[in-house]
Amino acid sequence: MDTNEFLEEYKTERAAILSSEDLSDKGKQKKLAELENDVKDKARSLIKDLRLMAITAGLTASDAARGRRIEGQRAEKSLDYSRLSYEAGRIKSLIGRAKDISEIEDAWKKVKDEGDSYVLQAWKDTAEGVIRERKDLQNTFERAVLLGDLQKTSVNHAGKTAIGDIEKDAVRTLEDIKEQAQAIEDALGAGRGGVIKRVLDGIKATENGVVTEFKEQEVKRSNGELEKESPEEVFFRLEREHEKRQEGIDKAAANFEIHSPDPDGLKV
């Protein structure tokens, strides 16, 4: 069952019980308790499904991001730094002799139109500092706009590898999973994002892409060969670890005679 469909069904049934004229207050409480128990069982099943999907998408996105970083590092080593240095010298000279900020703006627009990645990168690395050194170029609106544009303009040069479709799709899947987990959290969660933490545990979004705190381990197959775990095997291993941690939490809570938090972040 789809998460949204499940939650809509729950809300409809709950509203029907509360508005029923055939049930006493005590009868409503009993029916609501039965509904909550049934709904929690379904929610736990959905949460596990989302967790498996998150692990699968997380590993895919993380592997793609790692490959992209490695490719970028290799490409960056091949950059022609003598060319960058040469272009930086030309930029310093151009800005140094410019009559006003408009002349620098025109030069920058031309560079963007031509799209040479080395020239663009040299401008981004060099121009702002040289412009600020020019005391005669006052802190005008035009200068602020130009400096802002220099900072936000991206450069697709050899040292930066574009995000591929596989990584994009995996990230979109993770975003959808987070939305579904949030919906369950809003309707049935104990608060403080417990359901989201349960579903996305160990999966982090960084400026360099998705990173997972867990990896596929090598396992020996029946033929004696070593292979990486499948996403499903990673899921089951992490679920066993999660259950073991929860057992420890439950035991500690019992010793102090306090309620143990729900393992899936749901209301107790």
Mean per-residue pLDDT, 86-109: 94
Mean per-residue pLDDT, 100-126: 92
User: pLDDT of 128-149, one tens digit each?
Assistant: 999 999 888 877 889 999 999 9
Distance CA(58)–CA(202), nearest Å, equals 9
Instruction: Tell if the pTM clears 0.75, that is, is over it.
Output: no
Residue 211, SS3?
Answer: strand
The first and second tokens of residue 235, run together, are 């899921």
User: pLDDT of 22-59, one tens digit each?
Assistant: 999 999 999 999 999 999 999 999 999 999 999 999 99
Neighbouring residues of 168: CB distance < 8 A, sequence distance ≥ 6: none
Q: What are the CA-CA distances from residue 83 to residues 92, 121, 161, 210, 211 (Å)?
A: 14, 11, 20, 33, 34
Whether residue 232 contacts residue 154, with contact meaning beta carbons closer than 8 Å, is answered with no
CA atoms within 13 A on the CB side of 123: 26
190-201 residues labelled b (16+ CB within 10 A) or e (exposed): eeeebbbebbbe
User: pLDDT of 162-219, one tens digit each?
Assistant: 688 899 999 999 999 999 999 999 999 998 899 999 999 999 999 889 999 999 999 9
